[in-house]
Amino acid sequence: MASLQTSDVVRWGWFLPRDAALHGPALDAHLMLNLWIVLGLAVLAHGLLLVGVMVRRRRAKLPVVMLEYLPLLALTALFAWLATKSEQLWASQRYVGADPAAMQVEVTGEQFAWYFRYPGVDAAFGRTKLPLVSAAEGNSLGIDPTDPKGKDDIVTSQLVLPAGREVDLTLRSLDVIHGFSAPEMRLKQNAVPGQTAHIHFTPTVPGEYAILCTQVCGLGHYRMQSVLRVLPAKEFDAWLTQRELAKARFESEVSR
């Protein structure tokens, strides 16, 4: 996978990376619409400015209404239209939570790594406590060993997801504010210590994608990167089963 071709990552001339989420194409289309409008208005305004300073004084008198209020009215309509369109997209993504059947994954940011936790066979996350955090003891997230729900929790350093299924990410941070960003999923949300945030999306195209930190979090900020692996549903199921079995084996050995 190391020799990923440029064409795999970049879709076209605006340098926008590949789009691999269900909500992505609508977002991209709206972004492109905005960029073309912006480009058009910038060229128009510069054209008027350049022609304006080149020509000599004209005598024709035009009222304020024609030169100021009419263009403003048109711009108001334009921005209102864009706002309505963008709010529809925003609302469909953020006003409602994930489907109750969505896959649950918890994302935890820590200087300078991302951890991903799957709830295991019981479909419930175990309790976490900050004083229990200890990377040396293999408990980077501070999962409470007395909570039975946490026994089967699986913690990974890569986010592995099935294609075509909705995912509900629970974001949290152990230390400072981190910015969870997956450019190819058109997704970004800060992980803030002391609170959790939810974002949900559906990855569509299998592949390996970037996870970046986009909120400055200290000297290792630039290398706080991880991998999002989107697998075909069957491969994902096999991966998850394997992880769950390994976890069960480990737990039974520890308790013995």
Partner 1 sequence: MRVFSTRHRDVGLGYVAISLVAVAVGMLLSLVMRLHLTWPDWSLPLHGPVLPEEYLAIVTMHGTLMLFFVLTVAPLSGFGNLILPAQIGTRRMAFPRLNALGMWTMWLALVAALAAFFVPGGAPIGGWTAYPPLSESPLAGPGQGAGMDLWMASIALFCVAGTMNAVITLTTIVKRRCEGMTWERLPLTVWAWFTAALLSVPAFSVLLAALVLLFCDRHLHSGFFVPGQEWINGVMIEHRGDGSPLLWLHLFWFFGHPEVYIAILPGMGLVSMVIANFARRRVFAYRLMIATTLLIGLLGIVVWGHHMFVAGLNPFAGTVFSVASLAIALPSSAKVLSWLVTAWGSRAPGGQRKPMATPMLYALGFVSFFITGGLTGPVLAQPILDEYLHNTFFVIAHFHLIMSMAAIFGIFCAVHYWYPLVFRRQLSERLGRWHFWLTLLAAYGTFLPMYITGLGGEPRHYAQLNGIAGPGARLLALTMPLQRHITYSAVVLIAAQVLFFWNIQRTARGPKLTEENPWGATTLEWAPGAMDDEGPKVRVVREPCCYEQDGEGFVPQWAEPEAVSGIPIPLRGEAE
Residues 193-212 that bind partner 1 (CB under 8 A): 193-195, 197, 208-212
Q: Which stretch binds partner 1 (CB under 8 A): 144-152, 172-180, 232-240, 243-251?
A: 172-180
Q: Which residues, at least 6 apart from 106, have a Cβ–Cβ distance to it below 8 Å?
A: 116, 117, 119, 125, 169, 170, 171, 172
Closest CB to partner 1 among 152 and 168? 168
Round to whole Å and give the CA distance between 136 and 105: 23
Adjacency order of strands within the sheet including 187-191: 159-162, 226-231, 207-213, 178-182, 187-191
Round to whole Å and give the CA distance between 154 and 95: 29
Tell the smallest beta-carbon distance from residue 221 to partner 1 (Å): 6
Tell the smallest beta-carbon distance from residue 98 to partner 1 (Å): 14
Of 85-124, binders to partner 1 (CB under 8 A) are: 86-87, 89-91, 93-95, 111
Cα 189–chain centre separation: 6
Per-position x/- string for 21-40, each x denoting binding to partner 1 as judged by CB under 8 A, each - no binding: ------x--xx--xx--x--
Closest CB to partner 1 among 33 and 154? 33
Tokens standing for 86? 């963008």
Tokens standing for 255? 């308790």
- Of the candidates 83, 233, 245, 246, which one interacts with partner 1 according to CB under 8 A? 83
Q: Please compute Rg for the chain using Cα positions.
A: 25
237 binds partner 1 (CB under 8 A): no
81 binds partner 1 (CB under 8 A): no
219 binds partner 1 (CB under 8 A): yes
- Of the candidates 106, 221, 236, 240, which one interacts with partner 1 according to CB under 8 A? 221
Closest CB to partner 1 among 58 and 256? 58
Taking a C-beta distance cutoff of 8 angstroms, is the pair 130, 206 a contact? no
Beta strands in 111-225, from DSSP E residues, in sequence order = 113-118, 154-156, 159-162, 167-173, 178-182, 187-191, 197-201, 207-213
Closest CB to partner 1 among 120 and 199? 199
Of 126-165, binders to partner 1 (CB under 8 A) are: 130-131, 133, 142
12 binds partner 1 (CB under 8 A): no
| Sign of CA pseudo-dihedral 86, 89, 90, 96 | positive
Q: Kindly determine how many residues on this chain lie close enough to bind partner 1 according to the rule CB under 8 A.
A: 92
Tell the smallest beta-carbon distance from residue 146 to partner 1 (Å): 18
Tell the smallest beta-carbon distance from residue 174 to partner 1 (Å): 5
User: Which of 46, 20, 26, 72 lies closest to 34 in space, CA to CA?
Assistant: 26
Closest CB to partner 1 among 121 and 188? 188
Closest CB to partner 1 among 100 and 194? 194
